[in-house]
Chains A and B, each alone.
Chain A
Amino acid sequence: MSSSELLVKIRDLQIDGIADETRSRIINNVDLDLHRGEVLGLIGESGAGKSTLGLAAMGFTRDGCEIVGGSVEFDGIDLVGATPDVRRQLLGKRIAYVAQSAAASFNPAHKIINQHAEAPLFHGMSSRAEAEADAIDLYSRLRLPNPDEIGFRYPHQVSGGQLQRAMTAMAMSCRPDLIIFDEPTTALDVTTQIEVLVAIREIVEQFQTAAIYITHDLAVVAQMADRVKVLLRGDEVEEADTRTMLQSPREEYTKSLWAVRSFERPQKPLAAKTATPVISLRNVTAAYGNNDPVVRDVSFDIHEGRTVAVVGESGSGKSTTARCITGLLPPRTGEIAFQNQVLPADYRNRSVEQLRQVQMIYQMADTALNPRKKIGEIIGRPVEFYLGLKGAEKRRRVEKLLEQIELEPSEFINRLPSELSGGQKQRIGIARALAAEPKFIICDEVTSALDQLVAEGILKLLTNLQEEMKLSYMLITHDLSTVKAIADEVVVMKDGRIVEAGPKDEMFTPPHHEYTDLLLSSVPEMDPDWLDELLKQRGADNLGDAAVSKM
């Protein structure tokens, strides 16, 4: 078979979403061509219709979606008009799917290998023994630990990164012509992500499988795809091969997406040794209940006007550290001082003035704002509570705050949070923190739930506010590009301990502690050759969890 043979041909596809009896267009006249053995990257922000388009290439629409026009052909077979029987003949056998959350997409009631063997058995491709032997072979190709044994476990007994590779193996079980990868690494930590990326790329190359790789992460798509298609709210923006797209994007929208990563505020000089830190943690150890401590002996200072980024993967104790500072979780030992005055451990024992000085901005803007209260009330409450302003004075202050976060007061003051976009909600969260006129703000993953362009806006806003009001930030994040953009100092945490700490510029130049090194080197870059070079440098067995377990 020649590699130029057309496998998927989508023409003029239109898909409607039906919610609450109103129709809206999700995919708007999109064409797509995919050749055998080729990997196409689909990128776009949330709501761009990437997943819908990816599933449509399988002839599948989710409940509430409907194909209203256009055609989808797979290897010459019309999938839109096909009977369910014809479609079922193809799914699993010639077209396979890898979902975002492997933990949710494996049936919890069956062993992994039984689910693996299901498709080949059902489609009459092989016997159970053959399918199981093949599964074990695929597991070892994907570098899963204990390939002989891992399939005989239940999904909940296997870690997320391993499950994601097991799901890739399952998609491979019938040696399909096409695999759809729907954000397969989005839910994973960076060090785990890199293992999965390497595994997927190798196996796709080995079997010459065509793939559609859906993601919102440009750096990931740069490593995985031969060609890239950019989507924006159901429309195609442009399509080109990966290198061309990265070097010279044609459209404005694509250019702005590319530019996001270049925002970087210069690092401020370290505070003088004699200066009083705004917040200092002194040998804090904390635990939930009588369990083992999740934060152990953590100490660092945050100075006026500086941003300290606390980075680490999930479970490293960074959010727990924040809970200790706010007083929600009194530390077992150690203390927290505000301008050299020790704060009471429990927030209930702190004075209103002490509470006012420490404010928090949350990750999920949806749950951070009371959905039944108007914006004016949400921002007005701390103004009234801390500063005692009432009536017109309060309103003026609220309007001032809204101006500071670059939202038009008259337009937003009477709205409910549900009438706002994600980025606007996050701005309201910032305004609520500012309303207390604090010295110190904890930003807990404030941009991780946002699209990149919106996130950049929030980071710029935070920077400007810091300049204006001499604020100190503690920035909790797992995203190193955010750290690069606005941090002055970096604290790296792992398993509740501080691995390394220092000024940002030093942290981004080697040499480091080996964990920091692994963490930094695992963050994908926009260079298409990055993954190859990394593999050359470190070797495939010295990445991710494998590398961590060696430490």
Chain B
Amino acid sequence: MPTLSLTIWAAAVIVGTAMLSFVGRPIGTRKSIARLRDMTVTGALGYSLLIVTIYQAAALYFGPGATFFKWAVHGVIGFGLAGYLFQQLGRHVGTKATKKLFRSMPVTAALGILLIITYAFVAIFADFIAPYGQAEIFKDANLLPGGNPEMGGNPAHILGTDQIGRDILSRLIYGAQNTVGIAFVTTLLAFFIGISLGFLAATIGGVLDQVLSRIVDMLMSIPQLIFALLLMTIATAWFGSEKGMVTLFMILIIAVLDSTRVFRLSRAVGMNIVVMDFFEAAKLRGEKLSYLIFSEITPNAFAPLLAEFGLRFCFVFLTIASLSFLGIGIQPPLADWGTMVRDLSQFIAYAPFPVVGPLTASLPLMAAGAIALLTVAVNFVVDWMLHRASGLKE
């Protein structure tokens, strides 16, 4: 049966492709159909496949079952709509400058900004939003999500409780504060170290530049996650009993390791500015080093470094989440998404159960998805910023 339908679809694709790419040709030379006429076979193949895919997806969506697929469709449409509405809002409300900004913004970037604002809001006001504390332990452990008592839930814990009886919803919300907050602080630190050294190397050059660059080369020749794990082993060996110190060391370790990449970029950006004539003019005027760095380099390096900040934040955020997932990052009792994914992972096997199955199986994916969604959001915004920067150069 599946072989048969596959054959039918393959035939449909081939026929569609042939129709689009060849039948269109002799239609004429009018401009409106020139696109169809000049379409290549590969292009036509792509369109045929797209049509088939859309048809298949629709069939799956309107058919029975496939709960996760329906959720995914709702998710994509919902996020798309939210992004579109936010973009429209931005275009009509606000100052002239922000309106102009929103007009040049694609929906993905608008959605990204909306999501970042939401995450920031949840992170800052976690204490007020979360129904319970992050370390609060209730006597009912392993409550199922859904809040229906007949199905093993409890309306007080809408997403259920974990193995030792902590409210999962509250921990998800606090996770925003801890995971995002720590990643943000780490990135800030990495930027502070990387930019100051990078600009110094670019402006002063010579021996300082050589020494710093060689050290950075060396640090970068060990894969970052591996190096972080090694250093974390040492940190836990020293401070294993004090969870707070371990988290602090993690911040320091990742900040230093990540600052190498910031150093490279800010040095390169700085080098580009240092060879410009306006910088030479300032140098020949007899300006001091501090003026050169803060007044001539920094304002011009702002845009590329802001985009880099977004990318570095994603990277740091993912590294911390991975470390926590491996059990060596943010330490309990702080709620953290990476750790939660690991703790809740066995719930995935519940997926085939009727009614409560899908929601239960989603729990680890919610924590992991929370990480993914924020990085996607930041990447959408950065992508737009980079595109804009490259467009303005022409």
A interface vs B, CB < 8 Å? 19-21, 81-84, 326-328, 347, 350, 352, 355, 358, 360, 362, 364, 367-373, 381-382, 385-386, 432, 436
Contacts and interface: CB of A to CB of B under 8 A. Distances in A.
A352 B296 contact: no
Contacts of B299: 370, 372-373
Closest 5 CB pairs of A and B: A372-B299, A368-B277, A362-B277, A370-B278, A367-B276
Contacts of A328: 280, 283-284
Contact of B37 (A21, A83, A367, A373): A83
Interface of B: 29, 31, 34, 37-38, 104, 276-278, 280-287, 296, 299-300, 302, 391, 394
B38 A355 contact: no
A347 B280 CA distance: 11
Given A20-B391, A83-B37, A369 B278 contact: yes
A83 B38 contact: yes
Given A83-B38, A84-B38, A328-B280, A355 B285 contact: yes
27 contacts: A20-B391, A21-B104, A81-B29, A81-B31, A82-B29, A83-B37, A83-B38, A328-B280, A328-B283, A347-B283, A360-B280, A362-B281, A367-B276, A367-B278, A368-B276, A368-B278, A369-B278, A370-B278, A370-B299, A371-B300, A373-B299, A381-B282, A381-B285, A385-B286, A385-B287, A432-B281, A436-B285
A362 B34 CA distance: 49
A368 B281 contact: yes
B284 A360 contact: yes
Contacts of B104: 20-21
Nearest to A368: B277
B15 to A, nearest CB: 23
Contacts of B296: 370
Contacts, number: 58
Contacts of B281: 360, 362, 368, 432
Given A20-B104, A81-B29, A373-B299, A355 B286 contact: yes
B283 to A, nearest CB: 7
B277 A327 contact: no
A368 B276 CA distance: 7
Given A326-B284, A385-B287, A436-B285, 11 more contacts: A21-B104, A328-B284, A355-B285, A360-B281, A362-B277, A368-B276, A368-B277, A370-B278, A370-B299, A372-B299, A385-B285
A403 to B, nearest CB: 22
A382 B394 CA distance: 31
A327 B284 contact: yes
A371 B389 CA distance: 14
A305 to B, nearest CB: 23
Nearest to A435: B285
A302 B31 CA distance: 65
Contacts of B38: 83-84
Contacts of A371: 300
A74 to B, nearest CB: 16
Nearest to B298: A372
B394 A19 contact: yes
A382 B287 CA distance: 10
A372 B284 contact: no
Contacts of A83: 29, 37-38
Contacts of A358: 284
Contacts of B29: 81-83
Nearest to A365: B277
A112 to B, nearest CB: 30
Contacts of A350: 286
Contacts of B37: 83
Nearest to B283: A347
Contacts of A370: 278, 296, 299-300
Contacts of B300: 370-372
B285 A367 contact: no
B38 to A, nearest CB: 6
B277 A355 contact: no
A372 B280 CA distance: 16
Contacts of A21: 104
Contact of B286 (A84, A352, A364): A352
Nearest to A382: B285
Nearest to B275: A367
A549 B276 CA distance: 35
Contacts of B285: 355, 381-382, 385-386, 436
Contact of B284 (A355, A367, A373, A381): A355
Contacts of A84: 38
Contacts of B276: 367-368
A242 B285 CA distance: 50
Nearest to B276: A367
A217 to B, nearest CB: 25
Nearest to B29: A81
A84 B287 CA distance: 58
A13 to B, nearest CB: 15
Contacts of A360: 280-281, 284
A347 B286 CA distance: 8
A373 B284 CA distance: 18
Nearest to A326: B284
B277 A367 contact: yes
B279 to A, nearest CB: 8
Contacts of A382: 285
Specify which of A350, A355, A370, A432 lies most central, judged by the most chain B CB atoms within 10 Å of its CB.
A370
Nearest to B388: A20
Contact of B277 (A81, A82, A364): A364
Nearest to A358: B284
A432 B276 CA distance: 16
B284 A347 contact: yes
A375 to B, nearest CB: 13
A360 B287 CA distance: 15
A70 to B, nearest CB: 13
A371 B277 CA distance: 11
A273 to B, nearest CB: 32
Contacts of A368: 276-278, 281
B384 to A, nearest CB: 13
Contacts of A432: 281
B179 to A, nearest CB: 35
A81 B300 CA distance: 46
A373 B29 CA distance: 52
A347 B38 CA distance: 63
A153 B228 CA distance: 50
Contacts of A369: 278
Contacts of A355: 284-286
B324 to A, nearest CB: 40
Nearest to B40: A84
